[in-house]
Structure 1
Amino acid sequence: MGRRTYGAHAVVTGAGSGIGRAFAVELARRGGRVVCTDLDRATVEETVAGVKADGGEALAVVGDVSSADDVGDLANAARSWLGRDPDLVVNNAGIGAGGQVVGDVPLADWQRTLGVNLWGVIHGCHTFLPAMRQARAGGVINVASAAGFTSAPRMAAYNVSKAGVVSLSETLAAELSGSGVGVTVLCPTFVRTNIFGGELIDAAARGLAQRLSDLVGFSPERVARRTLDAHDRGRLYVVPQPDAQMLWHAKRLLPTPYARVAGLLGRFVPAPQHKEDR
């Protein structure tokens, strides 16, 4: 607890847009130095340019978090630029996936989704946590999703990846208890970002998700600020929106009825067309 997000030496993955960009900008505004990484060079350099225009300090690093080698290179670049090990890591990078039922989802989609959303977080924790544990200081924020506990139909790969991030974060919180290293996991529902434009999301599911996001979604800036404040207060879970909180409690109080209702609601999502029908 305290103010570890102020003046942090931070690394933010998936910093090219959305929540990742919002984390980077807010951390810089809190006096931090921020290493921003993304697979897209243009967007991450745009984030860094925005931070610098606001008077902050940031470095752009291009890399794929699903690659352990790339995350190792990120750590080396961060240590070189910061002059020390990072004391805050935001494992945010993620991709959207959905629209098909288990058995129809291509295995390549499973592998790519788990590679970025789950293995990306594993790589970040594996790479950066040992130094924090040794220093008995620092913090990790893992970005999961309400999908990690709502388990909506036709989102299996995404759900599994985010459930894994929640479980990993809970395990870390237990392992790091009393160590001086904080762990927070973010589980939002709809945030107004570009994640629904991903190629692994079926067009019908993409359209519905985007409409809901535009209607009820929080801004990424609001989510980032709330999460950083919660991390400073030592909170493990951040479930920022009222709908996420309602689903969180419903799943735990009435697990079997919840699954049945989720299945019924899932039938209102248009089924994806087979390629030969398009």
Structure 2
Amino acid sequence: MSAKRSHNASAVVTGAGSGIGAAFAHELASRGGRVVCSDINEDAAAATAHTITSQGGAAVAVRCDVSLIDDVRELAEQSQAWFDGPPTLVVNNAGVVVGGMEIGEAPLEDWSWALGINLWGPIHGCHVFAPILRLAGYGGIINVASAAAFGASPNLAVYSVTKSAVLSLSETLAAELNGTGVNVTALCPTFVKTNIVESGRLTVESAERGGRAMKMTGISPQKVVRKCLNTHDRGGVYCFPQLDAKVGWRVTRLAPATYTRALGLVHRFSAPQSAAGRRGITRSRTSG
């Protein structure tokens, strides 16, 4: 097999109904791969698969709630049946964002919701698919984390905690699979132009701020995906697709205390005067 695992892959992509997941599905198909497009929104997954097949590619849609282990096991069974064998690439991408409130203010139901998708999703994906790939002796796993995994920000604890854990999961799995023929890559972007803000649970203020930042500095999911797949092909454990992500990684590694103090000062002088005022803001309840 080619050392370029992203080419002619038998790929499973979660959260493939939109954003980065859809971009992964399309790019892998364009590289000659067969793609199982998985999403909790079956219609969205089907739309991605339909676009790929209408362009001459090979894709199928499978509904999967990654927070449920039985759904992920079923995804693995259906994927292997369609591939007539094991997958060669698994992209644990499904994710949501929660933000705008400090620790102690963010509802525990939001913690549970985000942990179920952002953390248990990749855990389930790795738990089910890593043994399959190890047995096959070839393939790769890409876990979509975030620059928030190492560059935590005030009012974004729920999201940062889940993504930090995904990064740790990826590093550990990469070490465990070293020498088995299976590569693991953690994708850590900053702002990417997707619908994650609209589908997240955010205060209005945070949603507006995030939307502006995404519009001003965000890059396309297609560009992020291409960089990630190329990094994965080279055997890279980390992919920082933007300059600010690369700089942030180095700063937080070289001067973590300075970084945290600087964040604290910014938060102190920019935070709303009343926590109660934040509680009163309408927040989206649409899951992604």
Query: Paired residue for 1:203?
Result: 204
Query: Paired residue for 1:250?
Result: 251
Are 2:229 and 1:225 equivalent residues in the alignment?
no
The Cα shift of 1:265 comes to 2.5
In the TM superposition, what are the counterparts of 1:19-168 in structure 2 within 5 Å?
A: 19-168=20-169
The Cα shift of 1:274 comes to 4.6
Query: Paired residue for 1:189?
Result: 190
Query: Paired residue for 1:215?
Result: 216
Q: Secondary structure at the match of 2:21?
A: helix
Mind listing any 5+ residue stretches in structure 2 that lack a counterpart?
Answer: 283-288
Q: In the aligned structure 2, how far is the partner of 1:204 from the partner of 1:139?
A: 39
Q: Secondary structure at the match of 2:91?
A: strand
Aligned positions, number: 278
Task: Indicate how the Cα distance of structure 1 residues 32 and 269 shifts in structure 2: closer, same or farther if over 3 A, else same.
Answer: farther
Q: In the aligned structure 2, how far is the partner of 1:211 from the partner of 1:247?
A: 20
Q: Secondary structure at the match of 2:201?
A: coil
What is the identity percentage for the equivalent residue pairs of Structure 1 and Structure 2?
A: 49
Q: In the aligned structure 1, how far is the partner of 2:159 from the partner of 2:86?
A: 31
Q: Secondary structure at the match of 1:195?
A: coil
Task: Indicate how the Cα distance of structure 1 residues 274 and 223 shifts in structure 2: closer, same or farther if over 3 A, else same.
Answer: closer
Partner amino acid for 1:202?
T
1:234-260 Cα shifts (integer Å, max 9, x gaps): 000001111111111111111111001
CA RMSD of aligned residues (A): 1.5
Q: In the aligned structure 1, how far is the partner of 2:82 from the partner of 2:220?
A: 30
Query: Paired residue for 2:285?
Result: none
1:199-254 Cα shifts (integer Å, max 9, x gaps): 41111111101111111111000000110011000000001111111111111111
Of 270, 273, 281 in structure 2, the residue corresponding to residue 268 of structure 1 is: 270
Q: In the aligned structure 2, how far is the partner of 1:117 from the partner of 1:274?
A: 24
Q: In the aligned structure 1, how far is the partner of 2:218 from the partner of 2:178?
A: 33
Task: Indicate how the Cα distance of structure 1 residues 276 and 36 shifts in structure 2: closer, same or farther if over 3 A, else same.
Answer: closer
Q: Secondary structure at the match of 2:197?
A: helix
User: 8 Å contact 1:66–1:115 — kept in the other structure?
Assistant: yes
Question: Please, what TM-score do these two structures have when normalized by structure 2?
Answer: 0.93
The Cα shift of 1:275 comes to 4.9
Task: Indicate how the Cα distance of structure 1 residues 185 and 250 shifts in structure 2: closer, same or farther if over 3 A, else same.
Answer: same
